[in-house]
Amino acid sequence: MSDEDPFALDDDVEEADENQVDDGNKSFADLRKAYKRSERQIKANEKELEDLRVFKQTVVTEQRKGAIETTFKEVGLSPKHALLFEKVSPDVEVTPEVVQAFAAEYDLPTQAGEAVQAPEAQPQGFNPVTTGTTPAAGMLTHDDVKGLIRRGDMQAVEKAYAQGRVIKEQPPWATH
């Protein structure tokens, strides 16, 4: 065996360790700079996002006002009544039926001076309960098609057949 100390460090090794420590401090400094830079970018993005949210809210509000006024004119009511509707029903979807019901509830006259009649509630017919397996989502059974026909919604029936969403089932008495 040799008489040299196995744990003695060479001078070259000590110099390499000192260079690694300097590189490590430089790496941490670079990381801190990158972190601060990313924090500033996040704050700038949050500020821009808040501005965009305010802008979006303004646009949505203006579009809603326009839709309300247009619907009120379509029904024959004064656009001044639209302000009342906005105050009373801020979150209600604006449709001619909703506006007519609103006008009838508050006895609002049309611009011609006539009273607005509330839309008639369509009666809910008898809906038989069926048993068995349910059709795939979006698919219509024979009973569903008959129900659409009874309600007079022929466009929905034609659309369902055109899209192939109708399950063409055999009646139980038919032979296969």
- Do 88 and 142 belong together in one domain? no
Average pLDDT, integer, range 162-175: 68
Cα–Cα distance, 72 to 95 (Å, whole number): 9
Does residue 2 form part of some domain? no
Q: How far is CA 27 from CA 31, 35, 72, in A?
A: 6, 12, 66
166 found inside a domain: yes
Instruction: Look at residue 126 and tell me whether its pLDDT is greater than 80.
Output: no
- Specify the higher pLDDT residue, 158 or 116: 158
Give the structural domain span for 139: 122-176
Q: What is the pLDDT of residues 34-77, one digit of tens each?
A: 999 999 999 999 999 999 999 999 998 888 888 888 888 888 88
Look up residue 155 and give its two tokens. 């466009």
pLDDT at 49: 94
pLDDT at 40: 96
Regarding whether 117 and 132 lie in a shared domain, the answer is no
Based on the number of CB atoms within 10 Å of its own CB, is 158 exposed (0-12), middle (13-18) or buried (19 or more)? exposed
Residue 89 neighbours by CB under 8 Å, 6+ apart? 98, 102
Q: Is 6 exposed, middle or buried (0-12, 13-18, 19+ CB in 10 A)?
A: exposed
Q: Are 114 and 77 in contact (CB under 8 A)?
A: no
The pLDDT of residue 48 is 94
Task: Please state the rounded mean pLDDT for residues 91-118.
Answer: 77
Indicate if 157 and 99 belong to the same structural domain.
no
Do 56 and 133 lie in one domain? The reply is: no
Q: In whole numbers, what is the pLDDT of the chain averaged over residues?
A: 77
What are the tens digits of pLDDT across the range 15-41? 555 555 566 688 889 999 999 999 999
Q: What is the pLDDT of residue 176?
A: 47
Higher pLDDT, 91 or 170: 91
Which of 129, 103, 126 has its CA nearest to residue 116?
103
Residues 94, 36 share a domain? yes
Domain check: are 54 and 41 in the same one? yes
User: Is residue 6 domain-resident?
Assistant: no
Do 19 and 93 have their domain in common? yes
Q: What is the per-residue pLDDT for 110? A: 74
Cross-strand pairs, 140: 166
* Cα 16 → chain centroid: 60
d(CA 31, CA 131): 66
Tell whether 1 is covered by a domain: no
Q: Are 129 and 163 contained in the same domain?
A: yes
Q: In terms of domains, do 129 and 58 share one?
A: no
87 lies in the same domain as 131:
no
Domains in the chain, number: 2
Which of 121, 138, 156 finishes a domain?
121
Average of per-residue pLDDT across 98-109: 82
CA 12 from chain centre, in angstroms, equals 66
Same domain, 73 and 115: yes
Residues 6+ apart with CB under 8 A from 94: 64, 67, 68, 71, 85
